[in-house]
Chain A
Amino acid sequence: MKKTKWQIFINGVFKENPVLILLLGCCSVLAISVTVKGALGMGVALTFVLVGSNIVISLLRKVIPDKVRIPCFIVVIATFVTLVEMVVEAFLPDLYDALGIFLALIVVNCIVLGRAEMFASKNGVVDSMLDGLGMGLGYTVVIVGIAVVRELLGSGTLFGVRIIPEGYQIGIITQTPGGFMMFGFAMALLIYCLGKKGKKFDPRIGCDGKCGNCAMGCENAITDIVPEAKKTEEAAK
Protein backbone atom coordinates (compact mmCIF):
# COMPACT_ATOMS: atom_id res chain seq x y z
CA MET A 1 0.00 0.00 0.00
CA LYS A 2 1.36 3.36 -0.93
CA LYS A 3 1.63 5.86 1.84
CA THR A 4 0.23 9.34 1.55
CA LYS A 5 2.57 12.32 1.83
CA TRP A 6 1.25 13.11 5.28
CA GLN A 7 1.88 9.55 6.48
CA ILE A 8 5.48 9.71 5.26
CA PHE A 9 6.02 12.93 7.13
CA ILE A 10 4.33 11.94 10.38
CA ASN A 11 5.95 8.50 10.36
CA GLY A 12 9.25 9.97 11.54
CA VAL A 13 7.66 11.89 14.36
CA PHE A 14 5.73 9.08 16.04
CA LYS A 15 5.66 5.61 14.57
CA GLU A 16 9.31 5.42 13.63
CA ASN A 17 10.76 8.11 15.83
CA PRO A 18 14.48 7.90 15.04
CA VAL A 19 15.67 8.28 18.61
CA LEU A 20 13.18 6.50 20.83
CA ILE A 21 11.99 3.77 18.51
CA LEU A 22 14.81 3.22 16.05
CA LEU A 23 17.46 4.04 18.66
CA LEU A 24 19.64 5.87 16.21
CA GLY A 25 21.95 8.77 16.93
CA CYS A 26 21.79 8.50 20.69
CA CYS A 27 25.23 10.09 21.25
CA SER A 28 24.23 13.62 20.39
CA VAL A 29 20.87 13.31 22.15
CA LEU A 30 22.62 12.41 25.39
CA ALA A 31 25.39 14.97 25.07
CA ILE A 32 23.56 18.02 23.77
CA SER A 33 20.34 17.78 25.79
CA VAL A 34 21.84 19.83 28.63
CA THR A 35 20.34 23.14 27.52
CA VAL A 36 17.18 23.73 25.51
CA LYS A 37 18.90 26.26 23.26
CA GLY A 38 21.67 23.85 22.32
CA ALA A 39 19.17 21.06 21.78
CA LEU A 40 17.06 23.20 19.48
CA GLY A 41 20.15 24.24 17.51
CA MET A 42 21.24 20.64 17.16
CA GLY A 43 17.76 19.61 16.06
CA VAL A 44 17.65 22.27 13.37
CA ALA A 45 21.17 21.45 12.18
CA LEU A 46 20.39 17.76 11.94
CA THR A 47 17.09 18.38 10.19
CA PHE A 48 18.82 20.55 7.60
CA VAL A 49 21.47 17.91 6.92
CA LEU A 50 18.85 15.18 6.79
CA VAL A 51 16.58 17.02 4.35
CA GLY A 52 19.51 18.14 2.18
CA SER A 53 21.17 14.76 1.98
CA ASN A 54 17.87 12.97 1.43
CA ILE A 55 17.04 15.25 -1.51
CA VAL A 56 20.45 14.92 -3.15
CA ILE A 57 20.69 11.17 -2.62
CA SER A 58 17.17 10.70 -3.93
CA LEU A 59 18.07 12.70 -7.04
CA LEU A 60 21.22 10.66 -7.56
CA ARG A 61 19.74 7.30 -6.67
CA LYS A 62 19.82 6.02 -10.24
CA VAL A 63 23.35 7.30 -10.87
CA ILE A 64 25.10 5.96 -7.80
CA PRO A 65 26.41 2.43 -8.38
CA ASP A 66 25.13 0.00 -5.80
CA LYS A 67 28.55 -1.23 -4.69
CA VAL A 68 29.99 2.13 -3.73
CA ARG A 69 26.78 3.66 -2.44
CA ILE A 70 27.88 4.02 1.18
CA PRO A 71 30.97 6.14 0.40
CA CYS A 72 28.84 8.23 -1.98
CA PHE A 73 26.21 8.80 0.70
CA ILE A 74 28.94 9.75 3.17
CA VAL A 75 30.38 12.36 0.80
CA VAL A 76 26.97 13.94 0.28
CA ILE A 77 26.26 13.96 4.00
CA ALA A 78 29.70 15.32 4.87
CA THR A 79 29.21 18.15 2.38
CA PHE A 80 26.02 19.25 4.07
CA VAL A 81 27.59 18.92 7.49
CA THR A 82 30.49 21.11 6.44
CA LEU A 83 28.00 23.66 5.15
CA VAL A 84 26.15 23.70 8.46
CA GLU A 85 29.40 23.87 10.39
CA MET A 86 30.53 26.95 8.47
CA VAL A 87 27.20 28.74 8.78
CA VAL A 88 26.92 28.07 12.51
CA GLU A 89 30.53 29.05 13.15
CA ALA A 90 30.08 32.31 11.27
CA PHE A 91 26.70 33.44 12.56
CA LEU A 92 26.10 31.62 15.86
CA PRO A 93 29.49 31.26 17.57
CA ASP A 94 27.87 30.54 20.96
CA LEU A 95 25.93 27.63 19.55
CA TYR A 96 29.06 26.44 17.76
CA ASP A 97 30.89 26.25 21.09
CA ALA A 98 27.95 24.55 22.78
CA LEU A 99 27.64 21.85 20.14
CA GLY A 100 31.39 21.33 19.85
CA ILE A 101 32.46 18.09 18.27
CA PHE A 102 28.89 16.84 17.93
CA LEU A 103 28.22 19.17 15.03
CA ALA A 104 30.91 17.47 12.97
CA LEU A 105 29.76 14.10 14.23
CA ILE A 106 26.45 14.50 12.39
CA VAL A 107 28.40 12.88 9.54
CA VAL A 108 28.42 9.58 11.37
CA ASN A 109 25.02 10.07 12.96
CA CYS A 110 23.24 6.85 12.13
CA ILE A 111 19.95 8.66 11.49
CA VAL A 112 21.27 10.44 8.44
CA LEU A 113 23.06 7.47 6.91
CA GLY A 114 20.20 5.20 7.92
CA ARG A 115 17.58 7.30 6.15
CA ALA A 116 19.78 7.61 3.07
CA GLU A 117 20.10 3.85 2.90
CA MET A 118 16.59 2.90 3.93
CA PHE A 119 14.50 5.63 2.35
CA ALA A 120 16.12 8.20 0.08
CA SER A 121 17.91 5.65 -2.11
CA LYS A 122 14.58 4.00 -2.91
CA ASN A 123 12.08 6.85 -3.10
CA GLY A 124 11.31 10.00 -5.05
CA VAL A 125 12.55 13.48 -4.22
CA VAL A 126 9.40 14.87 -2.60
CA ASP A 127 8.85 11.77 -0.48
CA SER A 128 12.49 11.79 0.62
CA MET A 129 12.31 15.43 1.56
CA LEU A 130 9.18 14.81 3.65
CA ASP A 131 10.81 11.81 5.27
CA GLY A 132 13.85 13.93 6.14
CA LEU A 133 11.63 16.65 7.61
CA GLY A 134 9.62 14.16 9.64
CA MET A 135 12.66 12.34 10.96
CA GLY A 136 14.36 15.64 11.78
CA LEU A 137 11.27 16.83 13.61
CA GLY A 138 11.05 13.55 15.51
CA TYR A 139 14.66 13.92 16.58
CA THR A 140 14.17 17.55 17.57
CA VAL A 141 11.07 16.79 19.63
CA VAL A 142 12.87 14.10 21.63
CA ILE A 143 16.11 16.03 22.17
CA VAL A 144 14.26 19.21 23.18
CA GLY A 145 11.91 17.24 25.42
CA ILE A 146 14.80 15.66 27.28
CA ALA A 147 16.61 19.01 27.39
CA VAL A 148 13.61 20.76 28.99
CA VAL A 149 13.58 18.24 31.82
CA ARG A 150 17.35 18.25 32.24
CA GLU A 151 17.75 22.01 32.17
CA LEU A 152 14.83 22.58 34.53
CA LEU A 153 15.81 19.91 37.05
CA GLY A 154 19.56 20.29 36.64
CA SER A 155 20.16 24.01 36.69
CA GLY A 156 16.70 25.42 37.35
CA THR A 157 16.53 27.42 34.12
CA LEU A 158 14.65 27.19 30.85
CA PHE A 159 16.04 28.77 27.69
CA GLY A 160 18.59 30.35 30.03
CA VAL A 161 15.79 32.07 32.00
CA ARG A 162 15.78 31.26 35.71
CA ILE A 163 12.62 29.41 36.79
CA ILE A 164 13.66 27.94 40.11
CA PRO A 165 15.33 30.50 42.44
CA GLU A 166 19.08 31.09 42.58
CA GLY A 167 21.25 28.53 44.29
CA TYR A 168 19.23 25.57 43.05
CA GLN A 169 21.37 23.12 41.17
CA ILE A 170 21.58 19.38 40.79
CA GLY A 171 24.87 19.03 38.99
CA ILE A 172 24.56 15.36 38.30
CA ILE A 173 21.57 15.80 35.99
CA THR A 174 23.49 18.14 33.71
CA GLN A 175 26.49 15.84 33.70
CA THR A 176 27.01 12.51 31.98
CA PRO A 177 25.09 10.20 34.36
CA GLY A 178 22.02 12.44 34.14
CA GLY A 179 22.03 12.10 30.37
CA PHE A 180 21.92 8.33 30.47
CA MET A 181 19.36 8.33 33.23
CA MET A 182 16.96 10.79 31.59
CA PHE A 183 17.15 8.90 28.32
CA GLY A 184 16.39 5.70 30.18
CA PHE A 185 13.40 7.32 31.88
CA ALA A 186 12.13 8.74 28.59
CA MET A 187 12.29 5.31 27.05
CA ALA A 188 10.58 3.68 30.04
CA LEU A 189 7.80 6.24 29.72
CA LEU A 190 7.39 5.37 26.06
CA ILE A 191 7.26 1.65 26.78
CA TYR A 192 4.74 2.30 29.54
CA CYS A 193 2.52 4.29 27.18
CA LEU A 194 2.83 1.68 24.45
CA GLY A 195 2.00 -1.03 26.99
CA LYS A 196 -1.19 0.81 27.95
CA LYS A 197 -2.23 0.74 24.32
CA GLY A 198 -1.45 -2.95 24.17
CA LYS A 199 1.48 -2.52 21.78
CA LYS A 200 4.90 -4.05 22.11
CA PHE A 201 8.17 -2.15 21.99
CA ASP A 202 10.51 -3.50 19.36
CA PRO A 203 13.46 -1.25 18.67
CA ARG A 204 14.33 -3.04 15.46
CA ILE A 205 11.11 -2.53 13.55
CA GLY A 206 12.49 0.44 11.70
CA CYS A 207 15.88 -0.74 10.57
CA ASP A 208 14.57 -3.75 8.65
CA GLY A 209 17.36 -5.69 10.25
CA LYS A 210 19.75 -4.24 7.72
CA CYS A 211 22.06 -2.76 10.26
CA GLY A 212 25.28 -3.63 8.50
CA ASN A 213 25.85 0.04 7.92
CA CYS A 214 25.04 1.45 11.29
CA ALA A 215 27.35 1.46 14.24
CA MET A 216 24.67 0.18 16.55
CA GLY A 217 26.31 -3.20 16.13
CA CYS A 218 23.47 -4.95 17.86
CA GLU A 219 24.08 -8.59 18.66
CA ASN A 220 21.83 -9.69 15.82
CA ALA A 221 23.63 -7.55 13.30
CA ILE A 222 26.84 -9.30 14.09
CA THR A 223 25.59 -12.85 14.00
CA ASP A 224 22.49 -13.23 11.92
CA ILE A 225 22.10 -10.17 9.79
CA VAL A 226 25.44 -9.28 8.26
CA PRO A 227 25.89 -12.23 5.92
CA GLU A 228 29.69 -12.06 5.88
CA ALA A 229 29.71 -12.06 9.65
CA LYS A 230 27.72 -15.25 9.66
CA LYS A 231 30.07 -16.84 7.19
CA THR A 232 33.12 -15.78 9.20
CA GLU A 233 31.56 -17.16 12.33
CA GLU A 234 30.79 -20.46 10.68
CA ALA A 235 34.29 -20.65 9.26
CA ALA A 236 35.68 -20.03 12.73
CA LYS A 237 33.71 -22.99 14.02
Chain B
Amino acid sequence: MSDGAKLLLIAFSMIFTENYVLVQFIAICPFLGVSKNFDSCIGMSGAVIFVMTLASAVTWVIYHFLLDPFGLTYLQTIVFILVIAALVQFVEIVLKKYIKPLYKALGIYLPLITTNCAVLAVTILNIDESYNFIEACVEGATAGVGFGLALILFCGVRKALERAKPPKCFEGLPITLVAAALTSMTFMGFTGIADNLFH
Protein backbone atom coordinates (compact mmCIF):
# COMPACT_ATOMS: atom_id res chain seq x y z
CA MET B 1 0.00 0.00 0.00
CA SER B 2 1.33 3.42 -0.91
CA ASP B 3 1.98 5.96 1.81
CA GLY B 4 -0.87 8.18 0.72
CA ALA B 5 -3.34 5.31 0.81
CA LYS B 6 -2.14 4.31 4.25
CA LEU B 7 -2.69 7.82 5.56
CA LEU B 8 -6.15 7.85 4.02
CA LEU B 9 -6.91 4.51 5.62
CA ILE B 10 -5.83 5.83 9.03
CA ALA B 11 -7.93 8.95 8.59
CA PHE B 12 -10.98 7.01 7.45
CA SER B 13 -10.83 4.47 10.21
CA MET B 14 -10.23 7.08 12.91
CA ILE B 15 -13.21 9.15 11.81
CA PHE B 16 -15.67 6.39 10.96
CA THR B 17 -14.91 2.74 11.58
CA GLU B 18 -12.88 3.14 14.75
CA ASN B 19 -14.35 6.37 15.99
CA TYR B 20 -12.96 6.95 19.48
CA VAL B 21 -16.21 7.90 21.13
CA LEU B 22 -18.85 5.84 19.41
CA VAL B 23 -16.90 2.66 18.70
CA GLN B 24 -13.99 2.50 21.13
CA PHE B 25 -15.58 4.09 24.21
CA ILE B 26 -12.80 6.58 24.75
CA ALA B 27 -13.59 10.09 26.04
CA ILE B 28 -17.18 9.39 27.02
CA CYS B 29 -17.19 11.98 29.81
CA PRO B 30 -16.72 15.07 27.64
CA PHE B 31 -18.97 13.46 25.04
CA LEU B 32 -21.85 13.34 27.53
CA GLY B 33 -20.90 16.53 29.31
CA VAL B 34 -20.37 18.99 26.51
CA SER B 35 -22.80 17.81 23.86
CA LYS B 36 -25.72 19.80 25.25
CA ASN B 37 -24.76 23.00 23.56
CA PHE B 38 -23.68 23.41 19.94
CA ASP B 39 -21.16 26.20 20.55
CA SER B 40 -19.37 24.33 23.28
CA CYS B 41 -19.26 21.28 20.96
CA ILE B 42 -17.40 23.28 18.35
CA GLY B 43 -15.05 24.81 20.92
CA MET B 44 -14.30 21.50 22.58
CA SER B 45 -13.72 19.69 19.27
CA GLY B 46 -11.42 22.45 18.08
CA ALA B 47 -9.38 22.27 21.27
CA VAL B 48 -9.24 18.47 21.15
CA ILE B 49 -8.11 18.33 17.52
CA PHE B 50 -5.46 20.94 18.23
CA VAL B 51 -4.08 19.33 21.39
CA MET B 52 -4.26 15.76 20.06
CA THR B 53 -2.26 16.62 16.94
CA LEU B 54 0.38 18.44 18.97
CA ALA B 55 0.49 15.74 21.64
CA SER B 56 0.89 12.99 19.03
CA ALA B 57 3.82 14.82 17.47
CA VAL B 58 5.56 15.65 20.74
CA THR B 59 5.15 12.26 22.39
CA TRP B 60 6.29 10.47 19.22
CA VAL B 61 9.52 12.47 19.25
CA ILE B 62 10.02 11.90 22.97
CA TYR B 63 9.40 8.17 22.71
CA HIS B 64 11.65 7.56 19.73
CA PHE B 65 14.53 9.86 20.65
CA LEU B 66 14.49 9.73 24.44
CA LEU B 67 12.67 6.78 25.96
CA ASP B 68 13.49 4.11 23.39
CA PRO B 69 17.28 4.68 23.02
CA PHE B 70 17.79 4.79 26.79
CA GLY B 71 15.61 1.76 27.56
CA LEU B 72 13.10 3.77 29.54
CA THR B 73 9.99 2.62 27.70
CA TYR B 74 8.42 1.43 30.95
CA LEU B 75 8.07 5.07 31.94
CA GLN B 76 5.81 5.67 28.95
CA THR B 77 2.56 6.27 30.84
CA ILE B 78 4.07 8.64 33.39
CA VAL B 79 6.04 10.62 30.84
CA PHE B 80 3.19 10.91 28.37
CA ILE B 81 0.65 12.20 30.85
CA LEU B 82 3.13 14.76 32.18
CA VAL B 83 4.02 15.85 28.67
CA ILE B 84 0.34 16.28 27.86
CA ALA B 85 -0.28 18.27 31.03
CA ALA B 86 2.70 20.52 30.35
CA LEU B 87 1.77 20.87 26.70
CA VAL B 88 -1.76 21.96 27.53
CA GLN B 89 -0.46 24.61 29.92
CA PHE B 90 2.09 25.76 27.37
CA VAL B 91 -0.47 25.97 24.58
CA GLU B 92 -2.75 27.95 26.85
CA ILE B 93 -0.02 30.47 27.67
CA VAL B 94 1.08 30.84 24.04
CA LEU B 95 -2.45 31.26 22.77
CA LYS B 96 -3.23 33.80 25.47
CA LYS B 97 -0.19 35.87 24.60
CA TYR B 98 -0.03 35.65 20.81
CA ILE B 99 -3.24 34.33 19.29
CA LYS B 100 -6.03 36.07 21.17
CA PRO B 101 -8.99 35.08 18.95
CA LEU B 102 -8.09 31.40 19.13
CA TYR B 103 -7.68 31.67 22.91
CA LYS B 104 -11.11 33.19 23.21
CA ALA B 105 -12.59 30.33 21.22
CA LEU B 106 -10.74 27.43 22.85
CA GLY B 107 -9.42 28.88 26.10
CA ILE B 108 -12.00 27.61 28.55
CA TYR B 109 -11.87 24.10 27.14
CA LEU B 110 -8.11 23.69 27.36
CA PRO B 111 -7.84 23.00 31.12
CA LEU B 112 -10.45 20.29 30.76
CA ILE B 113 -8.40 18.47 28.16
CA THR B 114 -5.50 17.29 30.32
CA THR B 115 -7.65 14.59 31.81
CA ASN B 116 -9.42 13.80 28.57
CA CYS B 117 -8.66 10.15 28.01
CA ALA B 118 -8.69 10.54 24.22
CA VAL B 119 -5.45 12.50 24.29
CA LEU B 120 -3.55 9.96 26.36
CA ALA B 121 -5.10 7.12 24.39
CA VAL B 122 -4.05 8.47 21.02
CA THR B 123 -0.43 8.90 22.11
CA ILE B 124 -0.23 5.37 23.52
CA LEU B 125 -1.98 3.81 20.51
CA ASN B 126 0.44 5.60 18.17
CA ILE B 127 3.31 3.83 19.86
CA ASP B 128 1.48 0.47 20.04
CA GLU B 129 0.77 0.58 16.30
CA SER B 130 4.39 1.63 15.61
CA TYR B 131 3.37 4.44 13.31
CA ASN B 132 5.95 6.77 11.82
CA PHE B 133 5.92 10.48 12.60
CA ILE B 134 3.56 11.57 9.81
CA GLU B 135 1.16 8.71 10.48
CA ALA B 136 1.12 9.53 14.18
CA CYS B 137 0.24 13.16 13.47
CA VAL B 138 -2.48 12.16 11.01
CA GLU B 139 -3.92 9.72 13.51
CA GLY B 140 -3.91 12.41 16.20
CA ALA B 141 -5.65 14.96 14.01
CA THR B 142 -8.23 12.61 12.53
CA ALA B 143 -9.03 10.98 15.85
CA GLY B 144 -9.82 14.50 17.02
CA VAL B 145 -11.98 15.06 13.95
CA GLY B 146 -13.80 11.80 14.72
CA PHE B 147 -14.40 12.99 18.28
CA GLY B 148 -15.74 16.29 16.94
CA LEU B 149 -18.00 14.53 14.46
CA ALA B 150 -19.46 12.32 17.17
CA LEU B 151 -19.96 15.32 19.45
CA ILE B 152 -21.72 17.42 16.83
CA LEU B 153 -23.91 14.56 15.62
CA PHE B 154 -24.92 13.76 19.16
CA CYS B 155 -25.62 17.41 19.90
CA GLY B 156 -28.28 17.26 17.19
CA VAL B 157 -29.70 14.08 18.65
CA ARG B 158 -29.94 15.70 22.07
CA LYS B 159 -31.78 18.70 20.65
CA ALA B 160 -34.43 16.32 19.35
CA LEU B 161 -34.40 14.46 22.64
CA GLU B 162 -35.38 17.58 24.56
CA ARG B 163 -38.80 17.44 22.98
CA ALA B 164 -39.27 13.75 23.74
CA LYS B 165 -41.16 12.54 26.79
CA PRO B 166 -39.55 9.41 28.19
CA PRO B 167 -40.82 7.52 31.25
CA LYS B 168 -40.04 9.42 34.43
CA CYS B 169 -37.12 7.30 35.57
CA PHE B 170 -35.49 7.64 32.14
CA GLU B 171 -35.52 11.42 32.16
CA GLY B 172 -32.18 13.13 31.86
CA LEU B 173 -29.08 11.01 31.62
CA PRO B 174 -30.55 7.51 31.12
CA ILE B 175 -32.42 8.46 27.96
CA THR B 176 -29.34 10.36 26.77
CA LEU B 177 -27.33 7.17 27.15
CA VAL B 178 -29.91 5.17 25.23
CA ALA B 179 -29.80 7.81 22.49
CA ALA B 180 -26.01 7.49 22.48
CA ALA B 181 -26.48 3.76 21.96
CA LEU B 182 -28.62 4.42 18.90
CA THR B 183 -26.12 6.95 17.56
CA SER B 184 -23.28 4.50 17.96
CA MET B 185 -25.38 1.86 16.20
CA THR B 186 -25.32 4.01 13.07
CA PHE B 187 -21.53 3.94 13.17
CA MET B 188 -21.59 0.15 13.15
CA GLY B 189 -22.76 0.51 9.58
CA PHE B 190 -19.22 1.50 8.61
CA THR B 191 -17.74 -1.79 9.82
CA GLY B 192 -15.56 -3.37 7.19
CA ILE B 193 -15.72 -0.45 4.78
CA ALA B 194 -12.19 0.71 5.48
CA ASP B 195 -10.57 -2.62 4.63
CA ASN B 196 -12.45 -3.07 1.39
CA LEU B 197 -12.10 0.50 0.28
CA PHE B 198 -8.32 0.71 0.45
CA HIS B 199 -7.14 -2.77 -0.46
Q: Which chain B residue shows the least CB distance to A195?
A: B169
Of the stretches B62-70, B141-149, B182-190, the one at the interface is: B182-190
Contact A82 B24 (CB under 8 A): no
Q: Measured between alpha carbons, how far is A37 from B181 in the docked complex, in Å?
A: 24
> Using Cβ atoms and an 8 Å threshold, which residues of chain A touch B109?
217, 222
Q: Which chain A residue shows the least CB distance to B122?
A: A101
Q: Measured between alpha carbons, how far is A201 from B170 in the docked complex, in Å?
A: 11
Q: Measured between alpha carbons, how far is A191 from B124 in the docked complex, in Å?
A: 37
> Using Cβ atoms and an 8 Å threshold, which residues of chain B touch A31?
24-26
Contact B116 A108 (CB under 8 A): yes
B16 to chain A, nearest CB (A): 13
Q: Which chain B residue shows the least CB distance to A180?
A: B181
Contact B177 A104 (CB under 8 A): no
Tell me whether A206 is interfacial, beta carbon within 8 Å: no
Contact A104 B77 (CB under 8 A): yes
Main secondary structure of the interface of B (DSSP, over half): helix
Q: Measured between alpha carbons, how far is A24 from B30 in the docked complex, in Å?
A: 11
Tell me whether A70 is interfacial, beta carbon within 8 Å: yes
1/0 per residue B164-199: CB within 8 Å of A? 000111111111111011101101100000000000
Instruction: Given A71-B85, A217-B112, decide whether A78 and B184 contact each other with a Cβ distance below 8 A.
Output: no
Q: Which chain B residue shows the least CB distance to A101?
A: B121
A29 to chain B, nearest CB (A): 9
Q: Which of B34, B169, B175, B176 contacts A217 (CB 8 A)?
A: B34
A64 to chain B, nearest CB (A): 15
Tell me the chain B residues, 11-35 only, with Cβ under 8 Å from chain A.
Answer: 22-30, 32-34
Contact B175 A184 (CB under 8 A): yes
Contact A233 B108 (CB under 8 A): yes
> Using Cβ atoms and an 8 Å threshold, which residues of chain A touch B22?
176
Tell me whether B134 is interfacial, beta carbon within 8 Å: no
Contact A229 B108 (CB under 8 A): yes
Instruction: Given A217-B33, A219-B37, A219-B40, decide whether A188 and B174 contact each other with a Cβ distance below 8 A.
Output: yes
> Using Cβ atoms and an 8 Å threshold, which residues of chain B touch A30?
25, 28
Nearest first, the 7 closest Cβ-Cβ pairs linking A and B are: A184-B177, A180-B181, A31-B25, A192-B169, A188-B174, A181-B181, A78-B78
Q: Can you report 27 A-B residue pairs in the complex whose CB atoms are below 8 A from each other?
A: A23-B29, A23-B173, A27-B26, A27-B29, A31-B24, A70-B85, A78-B81, A104-B120, A109-B117, A110-B115, A176-B25, A177-B188, A185-B174, A191-B169, A191-B171, A201-B172, A214-B112, A215-B27, A215-B30, A216-B30, A217-B109, A219-B36, A219-B37, A221-B112, A222-B40, A222-B109, A232-B104
Instruction: With A27-B117, A82-B78, A216-B33 given, name 17 new contacts (CB 8 A).
Output: A23-B173, A27-B26, A28-B25, A82-B77, A101-B26, A176-B187, A180-B177, A181-B177, A184-B173, A184-B181, A187-B177, A188-B167, A215-B29, A215-B33, A219-B34, A228-B108, A235-B104
